[in-house]
Amino acid sequence: MFGRRGRTAPGPRSAAGLRRIVTGLALPPGWTRDTLVEVVARRRRRPIQLVPIDAAVIGGQYSGAWLKRDHDDLVVYADSSSLRHSTNVVCHELTHMLLRHDEVATPESAADAVDVVRAVSRPGVRAVFGRSGYADEQEYEAELLAGMIIAARRPGFGDDAAGRIAGSF
Q: What is the pLDDT of residues 95-138, one digit of tens each?
A: 999 998 877 655 554 445 556 666 666 666 656 666 555 557 88
CA distance 16 to 160: 16
Indicate if the pLDDT at residue 148 is higher than 70.
yes
CA distance 169 to 144: 8
Which region among 34-48, 73-87, 151-165 has the lowest average model confidence (pLDDT)?
A: 151-165
**Residue 77 and residue 54 in contact, taking contact as beta carbons nearer than 8 Å:** no
The residue that leads in pLDDT, 25 or 67, is 25
pLDDT for 8 equals 45
Q: What angle do CA 120, 143, 26 make, to 5 degrees?
A: 90
What's the pTM? 0.75
